[in-house]
């Protein structure tokens, strides 16, 4: 089976089992999902529902126990998906500039051109004056922006983000959400974003996938109707409230179940 | 706008007051730092003076605790005659060769064990067992094998250093955050490039801790080796001074050995400072221009 040309990822009945000390743990069960090129998909679900695992499987960092993921080869020789991790995963021994340029360096780009691109993205995320600083000299929010710039700088058409804003305080988070919307609307990359926050999913995504408690399955798949370009103002509309309520209704039982599991 | 008379506004006066207070606080902090430094220097100086006085007034036995002035003049004699240089050179040569070989080997083996699982499985338990063995205890065996040459002396140092570095390098790799490894993989750093850009820099702080510990240990081991198995070097100088009952010569040896240890540790710390710029806490981020609003 080959994926249709406008499909970036076609996951079919993906299951993942981990082996813990007291027996196997089903992280994912028969998750099927198609992700189209240029779409922004948000995955929400209770803690431990395997949504991060699914993201890692999409990105090829983990292999599914069973099932398959078709990755479209449309991108040609473009670099594979760029990741933004929950704990940002920036390298403490590299300056901001070297961190942002890291993906390009690994794909063999010369120093001059990769640093030009990296500087551009450092500007985009508002870290202009900090390119020579080391991550430990910066705040958590700034480190997370390094991670986001690093992902965008690879030029990869696909971005996989695992709670990229989860570790931020509420206000910084709002600012970063606005920034993400802006960057995405500029570039129209294919984005899959895992988040805890329903509001964030509705603000950023074209589509919100709700997952069940462990073992993770797709419970609901909701199209987000808001026009682009978007601003945080959509959160004040009636429709936003309705959708948020709808998703919370779907999520509520799962969160309860996940609390009982742990 | 009309020109205004240059009288300080309330705001300005408040700002000035705060600035004055801040300056005062800074001056106070600087004064305290200077006092700490003075105290740190004063303690050994006072101790030496007390020693000198106690020896001069026969409060302590001059035969055993030769006064600093005598040690100093003996030291000057030994420098002038070249005796001290001979011993220093012998010890430094053994120490540096043994230290470098042991460190390089230890780091290489530690890195290999940290990245290649079968090697770690094969060597790990044996090395842990050998680590507990006091390395100086194998000196007689080394002497038996190599005779009274330079080889057993250098080997004793080398083996000691090797284990410290092997263990520190390995634990440095073990402590690498899994998230960092995953991020490096996600960005295409695999194999040798992962080694160069991720594993080595991540393990570097731990390797330098090993190098620092090893510097002190190396001085201990070479001194002990020279006590029994050498007829030159600072260890020999100290031991021989005991046999000849020449305490001031012994003190010269003791002081030289501690200076040697301090210098070695200092150069490791200095290299560490240069090699790990991202660990320096004293370099604040540049913040002169304000971030642009977007």
**In this complex, do B187 and A93 lie within 8 Å of one another by their Cβ atoms?**
no
Tell me what ipTM this predicted complex has.
Answer: 0.82
Task: Provide the CATH number for the domain around residue B211.
Answer: 1.10.3720.10
Taking only the tens place, the pLDDT of each residue in A83-142 is: 888 776 899 999 999 999 999 998 888 899 999 999 999 988 888 899 899 998 988 888
Q: How far is CA A33 from the centre of its chain?
A: 15
pLDDT at B52: 92
A107 Cβ under 8 Å from any chain B Cβ: yes
Structurally, how many domains does chain B consist of?
A: 1
Angle between the B200-229 and B83-115 helix axes, to the nearest 10 degrees?
140
**In this complex, do A128 and B197 lie within 8 Å of one another by their Cβ atoms?**
no
Q: How far is CA A96 from CA A134, A150, A246, B224, B277, in A?
A: 6, 9, 41, 48, 13
Backbone φ and ψ of A192, nearest 5°: -120, 125
The reported pTM is: 0.81
B292 Cβ under 8 Å from any chain A Cβ: yes
Interface test with B, best of A96, A106, A124 (most B CBs within 10 A): A106
Omega before residue A215 within 30° of 0, cis: yes
Mean pLDDT, chain A, as a whole number?
Answer: 85
Q: Identify whether B179 is part of a domain.
A: yes
* CATH number belonging to domain A1-72+159-166+191-262: 3.40.50.300
User: Residues with Cβ < 8 Å from A29, sequence gap 6 or more?
Assistant: A15, A215, A216, A217
Q: Identify whether B230 is part of a domain.
A: yes
- Per-residue DSSP letters for B209-246? HHHHHHHHHHHHHHHHHHHHH-SSSHHHHHHHHHHTT-
- The answer to whether residue B285 scores a pLDDT higher than 70 is no
Boundaries of every domain in chain A: 1-72+159-166+191-262
Can you tell me the distance from the alpha carbon of B250 to that of B241, in angstroms, rounded to the nearest whole number? 5
Number of CB atoms found within 10 A of residue B203's CB: 24
Taking only the tens place, the pLDDT of each residue in A46-69 is: 887 788 889 888 888 888 898 888
Highest mean pLDDT among A57-66, A145-154, B217-226: B217-226
- Dihedral sign computed on CA atoms, order B192, B198, B199, B205: positive
Over residues B216-243, the mean pLDDT reads: 92
**In this complex, do A129 and B180 lie within 8 Å of one another by their Cβ atoms?**
no
- The answer to whether residue A74 scores a pLDDT higher than 90 is no
Mean pLDDT, chain B, as a whole number?
Answer: 88
- The answer to whether residue A2 scores a pLDDT higher than 70 is no
Count Cβ–Cβ pairs < 8 Å, chain A vs chain B: 80
Q: How far is CA A227 from CA A16, A209, A210, A223, B273, in A?
A: 36, 19, 21, 12, 53
Nearest-CA distance B207 → chain A (Å): 15
Taking only the tens place, the pLDDT of each residue in B190-206 is: 888 999 999 999 999 99
Over residues B89-98, the mean pLDDT reads: 95
Taking only the tens place, the pLDDT of each residue in B125-168 is: 999 888 888 888 889 999 999 988 999 999 999 999 999 999 99
Q: How far is CA B251 from CA B67, B71, B109, B256, B268, in A?
A: 10, 6, 39, 8, 26
**In this complex, do A129 and B288 lie within 8 Å of one another by their Cβ atoms?**
yes
% of chain A beyond a pLDDT of 90: 18
Can you tell me the distance from the alpha carbon of B222 to that of B233, in angstroms, rounded to the nearest whole number? 9
Q: Identify whether B116 is part of a domain.
A: yes
B120: domain range? Answer: 86-277
């Amino acid at each position: 089976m080959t994926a249709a040309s406008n499909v970036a990822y076609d996951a079919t009945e993906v299951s993942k089992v981990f082996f813990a000390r007291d027996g196997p743990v089903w992280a994912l069960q028969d998750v099927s999902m198609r992700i189209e090129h240029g779409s922004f998909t948000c995955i929400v679900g209770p803690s431990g529902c395997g949504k991060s695992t699914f993201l890692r499987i999409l990105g090829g960092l983990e292999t599914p126990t069973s099932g398959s993921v078709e990755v479209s080869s449309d991108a040609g020789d473009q670099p594979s998906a760029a990741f933004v991790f929950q704990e940002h995963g920036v390298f403490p021994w590299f300056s901001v500039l070297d961190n942002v340029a890291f993906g390009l360096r690994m794909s063999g780009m010369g120093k001059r051109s990769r640093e030009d691109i990296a500087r551009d993205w450092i500007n985009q995320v508002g870290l202009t004056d900090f390119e020579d600083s080391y991550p430990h000299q910066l705040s958590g929010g700034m480190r997370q922006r390094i991670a986001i710039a690093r992902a965008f700088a690879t030029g990869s058409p696909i971005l996989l983000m695992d709670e990229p804003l989860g570790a931020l305080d509420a206000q910084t988070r709002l600012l970063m959400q606005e920034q993400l919307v802006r960057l995405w609307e500029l570039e129209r990359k294919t984005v899959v974003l895992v988040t805890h926050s329903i509001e964030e999913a509705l603000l950023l995504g074209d589509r919100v996938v709700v997952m069940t408690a462990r073992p993770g399955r797709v419970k609901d798949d909701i199209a987000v109707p808001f026009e682009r370009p978007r601003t945080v103002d959509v959160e004040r509309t009636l429709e936003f409230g309705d959708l948020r309520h709808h998703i919370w209704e779907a999520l509520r039982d799962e969160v309860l179940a996940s609390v009982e599991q742990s | 706008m009309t020109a205004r008379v240059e009288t300080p506004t309330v705001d300005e006066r408040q700002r000035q007051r705060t600035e004055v207070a801040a300056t005062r606080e800074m001056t106070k902090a600087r004064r305290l730092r200077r006092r700490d430094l003075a105290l740190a220097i004063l303690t050994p100086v006072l101790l030496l003076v007390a020693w000198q006085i106690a020896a001069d007034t026969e409060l302590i036995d001059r035969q055993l605790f030769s006064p600093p002035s005598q040690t100093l003049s003996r030291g000057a004699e030994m420098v002038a005659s070249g005796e001290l240089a001979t011993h220093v050179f012998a010890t430094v040569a053994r120490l540096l060769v043994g230290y470098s070989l042991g460190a390089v080997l230890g780091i290489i083996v530690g890195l290999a064990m940290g990245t290649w699982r079968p090697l770690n499985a094969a060597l790990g338990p044996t090395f842990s067992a050998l680590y507990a063995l006091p390395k100086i205890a194998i000196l007689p065996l080394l002497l038996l094998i190599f005779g009274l040459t330079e080889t057993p002396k250098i080997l004793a140092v080398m083996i000691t250093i090797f284990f410290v570095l092997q263990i520190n390098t390995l634990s440095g790799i073990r402590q690498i955050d899994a998230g960092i490894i995953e991020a490096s993989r996600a960005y295409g750093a695999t194999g040798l490039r992962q080694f160069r850009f991720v594993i080595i820099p991540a393990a570097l702080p731990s390797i330098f801790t090993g190098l620092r510990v090893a510097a002190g240990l190396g001085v201990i081991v070479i001194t002990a080796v020279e006590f029994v198995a050498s007829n030159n070097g600072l260890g020999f100088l100290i031991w021989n001074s005991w046999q000849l009952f020449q305490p001031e010569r012994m003190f010269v040896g003791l002081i030289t050995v501690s200076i040697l240890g301090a210098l070695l540790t200092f150069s490791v710390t200095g290299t560490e400072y240069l090699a790990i710029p991202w660990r320096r806490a004293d370099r604040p981020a540049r913040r002169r221009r304000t971030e642009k609003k977007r």
